[in-house]
Structure 1
Amino acid sequence: MEYLELLNKVEQWAKDRALDTVEARTQYTKLIEEQGELGVAIDTGAIDGDSGVIDSLGDYQVTLIIYCLIRGIDLRGKIEKQGKFWTKDVDGMYQLLGEDGISLTTSQKFIYLVYESSQLIGKYNRNKGVAEEYTSVAQIMLSLYDIAREYGTNLEETLNIAYHEIKYRKGKMINGIFVKEADLNGKN
Structure 2
Amino acid sequence: MEYLELLDKVEQWAKDRALDTAEARTQYTKLIEEQGELGVAIDTGNVNGNSGVIDSLGDYQVTLIIYCLIRGIDLKGEIKKQGKFWETEVDGMYELLGADGLSLTTSQKFIYLVYESSQLIGKYNRNKGAVEEYASVERIMVSLYDIAKEYGTNLEETLEIAYNEIKNRKGKMIDGVFVKEADLNGKD
Q: Same fold (TM over 0.5)?
A: yes
| Count of residues in Structure 1 that have an aligned counterpart in Structure 2 | 183
How far apart are 1:81 and its partner, in Å?
2.9
Q: Give the SS at the match of 1:172.
A: strand
Counterpart of 1:57 in structure 2 is 57
Give the whole-Å Cα distance in 1 for the aligned partners of 2:84 and 2:17: 30
Instruction: Please tell me whether residue 75 in structure 1 is matched to residue 75 in structure 2.
Output: yes
Q: Give the SS at the match of 1:103.
A: coil
Identity %: 82
Q: Give the SS at the match of 1:173.
A: strand
Counterpart of 2:89 in structure 1 is 94
Give the whole-Å Cα distance in 2 for the aligned partners of 1:41 and 1:100: 24
Counterpart of 1:145 in structure 2 is 145
Give the whole-Å Cα distance in 1 for the aligned partners of 2:154 and 2:78: 17
How far apart are 1:79 and its partner, in Å?
1.6
Give the whole-Å Cα distance in 2 for the aligned partners of 1:81 and 1:136: 18
The 8 Å contact of residues 21 and 70 in structure 1, kept in 2 or not, is answered as yes
Counterpart of 2:114 in structure 1 is 114
- Aligned AA for 2:57? L
Give 5+ residue unaligned stretches, structure 2. none
- Aligned AA for 1:99? G
Q: Give the SS at the match of 1:147.
A: helix
Give the whole-Å Cα distance in 1 for the aligned partners of 2:171 and 2:84: 34
Please report the TM-score for the alignment, with normalisation by the length of structure 1.
0.93
Give the whole-Å Cα distance in 2 for the aligned partners of 1:32 and 1:155: 18
The 8 Å contact of residues 94 and 146 in structure 1, kept in 2 or not, is answered as no
Give the whole-Å Cα distance in 1 for the aligned partners of 2:99 and 2:61: 29
Instruction: Please tell me whether residue 19 in structure 1 is matched to residue 19 in structure 2.
Output: yes
Q: Give the SS at the match of 2:83.
A: helix
Counterpart of 2:163 in structure 1 is 163
Give the whole-Å Cα distance in 2 for the aligned partners of 1:160 and 1:112: 24
Counterpart of 1:37 in structure 2 is 37
Q: Give the SS at the match of 1:153.
A: coil
CA offsets per residue over residues 135-173 of structure 1, 9 Å max, x none? 000000000000000000000000000000000000011
Give the whole-Å Cα distance in 2 for the aligned partners of 1:83 and 1:6: 14
* Structure 2 CA distance for partners of 1:69 and 1:43, relative to 1, 3 Å: same
How far apart are 1:99 and its partner, in Å?
3.1
Aligned residues: CA RMSD: 1.5
Give the whole-Å Cα distance in 2 for the aligned partners of 1:119 and 1:178: 25
